[in-house]
Amino acid sequence: MDPYDVLAPVHEIAARDLALARLRREAPIQWDEPNQWWLLTRHADIREVSRHPEAFSSEPKGPWHVAEHRFSMQAMDGPAHLRNRNIVSRGFTPRMVALLSKRARRYAEEAVDALAGRSSGDFVTDLAVPVPLRIIADMLGVADGDFDRFRRLTDAVVGGTNPEAGAGGLAEAAPMIAELMEYFGKKAEERRAEPRDDMLSKIIAASDEGVLEGLPGASGDGLAGFSNDEVKSMAFFLLIAGNETTRNGISQGMLALLQHPDERARLASRPELWETAADEILRWTSPVRAMRRVALHDVTLGHQRIRAGESVVMVYASANRDERVFEEPDRFKLDRHPNPHLALGFGPHYCLGANLAKMEIQATLACILERLPSLRLAPGSEPVFMRSALIDGIDSMPVEW
């Protein structure tokens, strides 16, 4: 089968889900010759790979879009990975996230306030972008930045993973990446001179102590536009990871609620459902569609021999519909429990922003359900879906209320 069927954008989702179900049934570990990687579609195999970093490396060594560049902890192994993760991990604990939840709600309220006097808009720009973008900018310490510019720049990076654009997509994104890097360079100079209580200052302190050693680019292997500067790389990754992913969880989550009016009504009248709802939204939407690892030595996975150096692509969107794990996997059920979805990964690279992402999805959608109860898709228009091999997302979604 054409692997692009499996990595297809969400508007082709019905066809894609059928293709994934067939793969799970007939060829759960399938060699994809044109792309030169194994496609993994079963929950158990993806979990197995994720929890064995000693056998399956996250470092860039094979074919798979932007992640050829080791510009973040996500693309590192072993002690270097842990060192980098630990620099910022305290900012993402449940306690820290609980402290941020009031602010997230306020940002959601302000986004709705800004629509006063209007009865239509673009869901993505008006309602899904503000909360994750403002929160991660606060955390990093760049809240005085130009938010429209952040959005354009991070969009361009994700645009670089459009499988149809191939290497051209990346080339197009390069000047935007350079612009963002330059911005972080300036901010880093400011913080070095005058540290504050923000992540950028923490990253700089860690870098000055030599903790970041081993981050990318030291040998000049950076992507065009990336500087060989570990501080900028780390800040850049956090801005993208904290922004592009959750925004799509919110937009896709709203679309799922619009498509399932009974579940939407239940959530609006029973807010306690939020205890399980954000996880079901994540399972259903899998905003990060897939991630890659490379075998460090020959390994047997299932009945399949994977050779050293071969890449495996873990299709989370498939694991999250695996009928071996989920009862009625094709039903959107906000009270699903347990819900061992893999939308946030598994193992040592489990999403650092997991608590934050769920909190932001809840803060934004709960506010919209309360304050814009009649919100609906604008008649005669369609959501515009993102073209990316990495993110299942929505570029724009005209709505009215």
Element (H, E) at 354: helix 354-371
CA Rg value for the chain: 20
Enclosing H/E stretch for 273: none
Between 340 and 381, whose beta carbon lies closer to ligand HEM?
340
- Report if residue 288 touches ligand HEM, rule: CB under 6 A: yes
Give the C-alpha separation, 384 to 125, whole Å: 12
Where are any strands of DSSP class E within 36-158? 37-40, 56-57, 120-122
Least CB distance to ligand HEM at residue 315 (A): 11
Which CB atom, from 27 or from 350, has the smaller least distance to ligand HEM?
Answer: 350
Nearest to 389, CA basis, from 63, 145, 80: 63
* Interface of this chain with ligand HEM, residues 342 to 361, rule: CB under 6 A: 343-345, 349, 351-353, 356-357
130-140 and 199-208 helices, crossing angle to 10°: 40
In whole angstroms, the minimum distance from the beta carbon of 157 to ligand HEM comes to 14
Contact call for residue 91 and ligand HEM (CB under 6 A)? no
Place of tokens 């429990």: 337
Which amino acid is present at 103? R
Token pair for 347: 């193992």
What residues are paired with 394 via a beta bridge? 385
Q: How far is the CB of 136 from ligand HEM (least distance, A)?
A: 6
Q: Which of 121, 249, 329, 383 binds ligand HEM (CB under 6 A)?
A: 249
Binding span for ligand HEM by CB under 6 A among 167-175, 209-217, 282-290, 320-328: 282-290
Cβ–Cβ < 8 Å for 216, 236: no
Give least dist CB 26 to ligand HEM, A.
25
Q: Which stretch binds ligand HEM (CB under 6 A): 8-16, 123-131, 161-169, 241-249?
A: 241-249
Q: Which is nearer to ligand HEM, 261 or 295 (CB)?
A: 295
CB of 116 to ligand HEM, least distance (A): 28
**Residue 204 makes contact with ligand HEM by CB under 6 A:** no
What DSSP line would sit under 211-229, residue for residue?
TTTT-TTTTS-PPTT--S-
Least separation, in Å, of the C-beta of 150 and ligand HEM?
13
For ligand HEM, give the closer residue by CB, 199 or 204.
199
The binder of ligand HEM chosen from 62, 130, 160, 242 (CB under 6 A): 242
Question: In angstroms, rounded to a whole number, what is the distance separating the alpha carbons of residues 339 and 353?
Answer: 18
Q: How far is the CB of 356 from ligand HEM (least distance, A)?
A: 5
- Tell me the residue type at 331: R
Binding residues for ligand HEM, rule CB under 6 A, total 24
Measured from the CB of residue 379, what is the shortest distance to ligand HEM in angstroms?
A: 29
Q: Which of residues 50-79 bind ligand HEM (CB under 6 A)?
A: 58, 73-74
Strand partners, 290: 315
With beta carbons less than 8 A apart as the criterion, state whether 246 and 355 touch. Answer: no
d(CA 151, CA 240): 9
Determine the residue type at 169: G
Which residue number, 59 or 172, has a Cβ lying nearer to ligand HEM?
A: 59
- Please tell me the distance from the alpha carbon of residue 144 to that of residue 321, in angstroms, as a whole number: 41
Q: Which stretch binds ligand HEM (CB under 6 A): 160-168, 192-200, 244-252, 298-306?
A: 244-252
Nearer to ligand HEM, 177 or 314 (CB): 314
Distances (CA, A) of 13 to 7, 105, 131: 10, 31, 27
Q: What 3-state DSSP class applies to 285?
A: helix
The binding track of 309-348 with respect to ligand HEM, each residue x by CB under 6 A or -, is: ----------------------------------xxx---
Residues within the interface to ligand HEM (CB under 6 A): 58, 73-74, 85, 136, 238, 241-242, 245-246, 249, 282, 287-288, 291, 343-345, 349, 351-353, 356-357
